[in-house]
Amino acid sequence: METKIINNETSSAIDEKKQIRLVNRYPKYLKSKSKQMISHFGEEKTEQVFSVAKREYPKLLKKTPTFITPMYDALILTAGKMAALKKGMNAAGISTEEFVKFSIEETRATGDKIPSFLLKMGGKIYLSKPIRKYLKKVGKSATENGWPTKVIDGKENDDFEMSLETRNCQMVAFWELIGEGDIRPYCTFFDFISAELLGVGLKQVSTIDSGVCKYCFYKKGQVEWPEAVRKVLTN
């Protein structure tokens, strides 16, 4: 199913001063990936990747929408940084699947530096009733500004603690807008690696292709990686 970027009446571009600040900070983001990138692909290819990423990032910011919702704006900004890196990797002959696998492994390596009890505590907090109440407000704000989102509490007979539904996913729409639509089969990988680090169970019940992207979160249980991402990780 096709996703569409919402119109400018509900989602304006990032203001110019903020774009400049973000561009100035981008080298620090790349530096945080440097060690893992060199380990995987070597110094020469890493330099090539970073050169292209730095050139592409300002262009992507000009196309980055805002949803007047801090959590969702942060997600889109993170996607923009990753997309510029992906463009650099693809330009250096590194496939999209390798980008996905590298991103997951690099995130795991970063998570290994954080005490596990802190990560698990974060997972418990994320699924707590006060945070779910907050997430419902976030979903309402995102919906009003063009990214339809619904947060649902699990009931007594449900096996999940919380479910999240999105329609017309603006994350996918953004990747497609900037010419990186081949990420679509793997677009949920960041949600799943985040759940893995936080020690919460996560399963995707329906995909964006059905019109409704739905996830179920569990206090206990495994992260059930989507088949496309699982294949990337095992190849």
**What is the per-residue pLDDT across 143-186, written as a single tens digit (0 to 9) for each?**
999 999 999 999 988 889 999 999 999 999 999 999 999 999 99
Three-class SS state of 167: strand
Contact 229, 189 (CB under 8 A): yes
The pLDDT confidence band at residue 9, using thresholds 50, 70 and 90, is: very low
Within 8 A by CB and 6+ apart from 121, the residues are none
Residue 7 lies in a domain: no
Q: Which among 2, 5, 25, 1 is positioned nearest to 174, based on CA atoms? A: 5
Distances, alpha carbon 180 to alpha carbons 60, 99, 216, in Å: 11, 12, 27
Residue 153 in domain: yes
For 95-121, what is each residue's pLDDT tens digit? 999 999 999 999 999 999 999 999 999
Q: In this model, does residue 12 exceed pLDDT 60? A: no
Give domain status of residue 218, yes or no: yes
pLDDT, position 13: 74
Q: Compute how many other C-beta atoms are within 10 angstroms of the C-beta atom of residue 205.
A: 14
Residue 3 covered by a domain: no
Q: How far apart are CA 152 and CA 124, in angstroms?
A: 17
* Average pLDDT rounded to a whole number, residues 131-145: 96
The pTM assigned to this predicted structure is 0.92
**Residue that wins the pLDDT comparison between 190 and 207:** 190
| Residue 99 belongs to some domain of the structure | yes
Round to whole Å and give the CA distance between 203 and 223. 6
Element (H, E) at 137: helix 129-144
Q: Mind listing the pLDDT tens digit for each residue in 210-227?
A: 888 999 999 988 999 999
E strand spans, the chain: 149-153, 162-167, 201-206, 212-218, 223-224
Asked if residue 192 belongs to a domain, the reply is yes
Banded pLDDT at 6 (limits 50, 70, 90): very low
Closest CA to 58 of 109, 14, 1, 7: 14
Residue pLDDT, tens place only, 26-56: 999 999 999 999 999 999 999 999 999 999 9
The domain of 162 spans 16-234
Number of separate domains in the chain = 1
